[in-house]
Structure 1
Amino acid sequence: MEIRIRHWNTAIAGAVLLHVATVAAVLWTPTQPGAQLPGVGGIEISLGPAGGAPGTDAQDSPEPQEAKPVEPVETVEAVTPGAPVEAVPVEPVIPDAVAIEPVKTVEERPREPLPVPPKVVRPKVAPPPKPVEVAAVDPAPPVRTPPPAVAGAQGKSGTKDAKETGSGDNSQGGGVAGAAADYMSVLQAWLEKHKEYPRSARLRRIEGAVMLYFSIDRDGRLLAYRIERSSGHRMLDKETIAMINRAQPLPPIPADMSRDRLEVVVPVQFSLH
């Protein structure tokens, strides 16, 4: 738009200058010399020859030529600046719509369920170990006091009977308790023989005691077992279970105990000293 306005201004200025030059040319006429101009009041002046020269007839001055009328120059109308050219609205170029392909939905495969970690069964904290059950021993019958001896033979016989009765009852009661104590010692030694101190626990200087419950039949076969009280260290508890499995079959129950099944709670010590 600015370039077009400049062109219009230049054209208008040129037209104005052209008109001014034309008018100036029309109005301007060349001035004639004074001798040739017509006299005022019709008086003609003639000049004679100088220095006594023979007179000559004055030459007739030439008649003034009539100025030819100048044909009027057609005036050029000033070009008025036209109305500003309206800017043609340019239609915005709309890009071709690109067809968007629908997104394909991918079928999700059912995820396999994650394996459930096995539940760790913590050993129950057991109360203090129960004493080893020992078969109840029938109380010994009261000792009968022999009547006073009538004769020496009867006195000896009565004394002999009393001794035999007392000695027999005492040996029977002491035999059951002694057999149970002896069996527990054998059982403890058997378990210690199959016990192993975990290497990692030894390196880390870990110590502890596990209370182990188990039951056996007359032949020493293991019927059931569990940890009554944990040591607080998993590796020691694990070794205790491994020990009882390595130690079976255990020593059989002695016949003097008259038991078909025995339940025992024993301490298993893990000590570095």
Structure 2
Amino acid sequence: MLRAVMASLTAPGMILGLMVSIVPLSGLSGPARAEPIPRPWAGAIAARVNGFKDYPYMARMRQKVGALIVGFQVGPDGQLLKSWIERSSCDKALDHEALDLLQRASPFPPAPPGYKRASTSFRLPLVFAMRGREVWLRGSCPPSS
């Protein structure tokens, strides 16, 4: 388990998105793998997501915190093609907000001219944190009771 201590946050209810960590999804094959994703485009997508962050009201009131990894696929025109939770925060409200965040941020900036992939997949770690609360990126969630 990866443990992140968020003691340095300045505001309760703040979402920290580790936007510099946006990376291409692994597992690509064929010619698409040879063409790297332009860093400025990935950075522009991350900045777009960062501008639409929100903390679900009920999760904030219940002081829920969590870390998750969301995956998403973007077309060359910047349209969100699909999104999914790669690793859950173990809180349905936080997971749902991560997917809603991508919907609100879409459309993303289009791919740069000359970029030839039909679609590009990314993974993005998101952290919902509050001052003084520890956040864990879990390997798996406990069974619901």
What TM-score range do you get, normalising by the shorter chain?
0.5 to 0.7
Inter-partner Cα distance in structure 2 for 1:230 and 1:213: 11
**What is the letter of the counterpart of residue 34 of structure 2?**
A
Please report the RMSD computed on the Cα atoms of aligned residues, expressed in angstroms.
Answer: 2.6
Which structure dedicates a bigger proportion of its chain to strand? 2
Give the aligned partner of residue 213 of structure 1.
Answer: 71
Give the aligned partner of residue 192 of structure 1.
Answer: 50
TM-score by length of 1: 0.34
Query: Is structure 2 residue 31 aligned with structure 1 residue 136?
Result: no
Inter-partner Cα distance in structure 2 for 1:243 and 1:132: 19
Offset at 1:130?
A: 9.8
Query: Is structure 2 residue 96 aligned with structure 1 residue 238?
Result: yes
Task: Trace 1:64-213 onto structure 2 (pairs within 5 A).
Answer: 131-132=23-24, 136=34, 180-213=38-71
TM-score by length of 2: 0.61
Q: Is the 8 A contact 1:221 1:249 kept in 2?
A: yes
Query: Is structure 2 residue 113 aligned with structure 1 residue 229?
Result: no
Give the aligned partner of residue 36 of structure 1.
Answer: none
**What is the CA deviation profile of residues 65-92 of structure 1, one whole-angstrom value per residue up to 9, with x for unaligned ones?**
xxxxxxxxxxxxxxxxxxxxxxxxxxxx
Q: Is the 8 A contact 1:135 1:258 kept in 2?
A: no
Offset at 1:131?
A: 4.5
**What is the letter of the counterpart of residue 201 of structure 1?**
A
- Aligned partner of residue 260 in structure 1, secondary structure: coil
- Aligned partner of residue 197 in structure 1, secondary structure: coil
**What is the letter of the counterpart of residue 269 of structure 1?**
V
Inter-partner Cα distance in structure 1 for 2:49 and 2:127: 11
Q: Which has the higher contact order (CA 8 A, sep 6+)?
A: 2
**What is the letter of the counterpart of residue 91 of structure 2?**
H
**What is the letter of the counterpart of residue 60 of structure 2?**
R
Unaligned runs of 5+ in 2: 1-20, 26-31, 132-145
Q: Is the 8 A contact 1:220 1:253 kept in 2?
A: yes
Which structure dedicates a bigger proportion of its chain to helix? 1
Q: How many residues get paired?
A: 105
Percent of pairs identical after alignment?
A: 30
- Aligned partner of residue 194 in structure 1, secondary structure: coil
**What is the letter of the counterpart of residue 40 of structure 2?**
D
Inter-partner Cα distance in structure 2 for 1:219 and 1:246: 16
Give the aligned partner of residue 7 of structure 2.
Answer: none
Give the aligned partner of residue 258 of structure 1.
Answer: 116
Give the aligned partner of residue 270 of structure 1.
Answer: 128
Inter-partner Cα distance in structure 1 for 2:23 and 2:103: 23
Inter-partner Cα distance in structure 2 for 1:188 and 1:270: 16
Inter-partner Cα distance in structure 2 for 1:247 and 1:130: 15
Inter-partner Cα distance in structure 1 for 2:55 and 2:22: 26
**What is the letter of the counterpart of residue 47 of structure 2?**
A
Offset at 1:254?
A: 1.5
Q: Is the 8 A contact 1:135 1:257 kept in 2?
A: no
